[in-house]
Structure 1
Amino acid sequence: MLAGLLPKLTPIVLALRQPLYHPGAAIEAVYFPEIGMISLVANLDDGMQAEVGVIGNEGMLGISLLAGVDTPFIECMVQLPGTALRMTARDFHQELEANAPFRRLLLRYSEALQAQVMQTAACNGHHGLEQRLSRWLLMAHDRVDGDDLLLTQEFIAMMLSTHRPSITVSARILQRAGLIQYQNGRIVILDRAGLEAASCECYGAVQRRFSSLLGTNISL
């Protein structure tokens, strides 16, 4: 399955806040992250933004091409810097036609990603901010190398569609519990198991869905 893919993949660096897709613009390439995290962000008319999903080394950006849709509905940008493998949309279409195992795998990944997006919507509507923040930090931790996350409270607030003071309060609760350390835009995960306990069931639900569809958990 990989033999035909490798010559068509180009290593690139994912820079912080780098825009990869804009709503309605043609998809020119797909991305397979190695380290780092890409946010799928919905933009509202009032200027508010909300993260509806994330992609890391468990998946790829550009899965809509699988359905023959060559324009994204939402904005996609790098949330945590890292590296990725880039493939042109033309090469990707050729592989979908010629590589049946690759296509089948991506169909299953598409279903897993859809589950993550749906669970995120349910979580944002029904769970408290402390649980949601814990879930979000776990998802970020799964997709980076190490325990350090370079994230400002302003950016987290934007992704969780809330206000910065609310993030400050929730982060302090997690810090006092010894789960994280936060200072100057840097969050360190201190107690992974404790953070999982502080999260809602949504994190585990998505992990189980990925495992059942792809045979592996997201966590590294």
Structure 2
Amino acid sequence: MKKSQMSNRILRSLSYQDFALLAPYLEEVELPSRYPIARPDTLLEYVYFPESGIGAVLSVLPDGKKAEAGMFGSEGFVPTSTIIGDTLVPYLIEMQVAGRGHRIPVERMRAVNNSSATMQVPFIKFMHVFAVQVAYTALANAKFQVEKRLARWILMCQDRLTADQLEITHEYIAFLLGVRRPSVTTALHILEGLKLIRSNRGTIIVINRKGLERFAAGCYGLPEREFERLLGAGANDKP
């Protein structure tokens, strides 16, 4: 397994020496839609590095209601708390769009981390970047209208799928955004009217990426720039 063959950007950001320590223990896995990576207050078994697909960190109420707190894909790893030695999380982590990836047992990950003084640096940087994303999700939910939140969410999905076409239903968008389905339908019509997207049953096609970014009006962009600053091409990718 070669570092250059990895699509996961955290794995690619490791030095060649650190990747060589980790690679023998990485297991390739399928990550189907709704695959539970971690459940609330359940002992964590693996650290996951998606190569494709999209996952979500979901806050869960005692009555079962859920809301998306953060999104991840091939740019990151989950659960992030394993890097600081934790073995439980209070939220649900699951795949939303099917993909593939690699995983490593938590205990093995801890042992590998302890064998290198530099291994943890990219992981801790990602924890910071993910915290920035969650903060901007809270800002978007509190201060932005549904159509701007939807624009941000579409952009974030496109970043992780690297495709113009997103396969997802109105019902599921409503669930992730924490709004009613009619609100999603109205927001999609607004974005279509501005010729930013096309929306069919279960499909959203981005037709004007730059326009969508401008429409998001600041609730998209800063977390993405923070990732590129700390973990983007050249940040730690040395032979």
TM-score above 0.5, yes or no: yes
C-alpha deviations, 1:25-44, integer Å up to 9, x for none? Answer: 01100111111111000112
Match 1:196 to one of 209, 213, 219? 213
Look up the match of 2:62: 45
C-alpha deviations, 1:92-150, integer Å up to 9, x for none? Answer: 11111112222111111111111111111111111111110000010011111422211
In 1, Cα distance between the equivalents of 2:176 and 2:95?
12
The question of 1:155 aligning with 2:172 is answered yes
In 1, Cα distance between the equivalents of 2:162 and 2:155?
13
Match 2:111 to one of 78, 94, 117? 94
Structure 2 gap segments, 5+ residues each: 1-17, 234-239
Q: How many residues align?
A: 216
TM-score by length of 2: 0.86
Match 1:83 to one of 100, 106, 109? 100
Deviation at 1:46, TM superposition (A): 4.2
Look up the match of 2:128: 111
Match 1:16 to one of 33, 47, 56? 33
Look up the match of 1:129: 146
CA contact (8 A) 1:17 1:77 kept: yes
- Percent identity, please: 34
Secondary structure, counterpart of 2:219 in structure 1:
helix
CA contact (8 A) 1:48 1:161 kept: no
Look up the match of 1:54: 71
In 2, Cα distance between the equivalents of 1:74 and 1:47?
11
CA contact (8 A) 1:132 1:200 kept: no
- Runs of 4+ deviating beyond 6 Å: none
In 2, Cα distance between the equivalents of 1:18 and 1:27?
14
In 2, Cα distance between the equivalents of 1:47 and 1:173?
31
Structure 1 gap segments, 5+ residues each: none
Deviation at 1:57, TM superposition (A): 1.1
Secondary structure, counterpart of 2:171 in structure 1:
helix
CA contact (8 A) 2:191 2:197 kept: yes
Look up the match of 1:141: 158
TM-score by length of 1: 0.93
Stretch moving more, 206-215 or 54-63: 206-215
In 2, Cα distance between the equivalents of 1:187 and 1:7?
39
In 1, Cα distance between the equivalents of 2:55 and 2:201?
22
Look up the match of 1:211: 228
Deviation at 1:3, TM superposition (A): 0.8
The question of 1:25 aligning with 2:42 is answered yes
Secondary structure, counterpart of 2:71 in structure 1:
strand
Deviation at 1:215, TM superposition (A): 3.6
Secondary structure, counterpart of 2:157 in structure 1:
helix
CA contact (8 A) 2:31 2:99 kept: yes
CA contact (8 A) 2:85 2:110 kept: no
C-alpha deviations, 1:3-34, integer Å up to 9, x for none? Answer: 11111111111111222111000110011111
In 2, Cα distance between the equivalents of 1:46 and 1:189?
36
Secondary structure, counterpart of 1:83 in structure 2:
strand
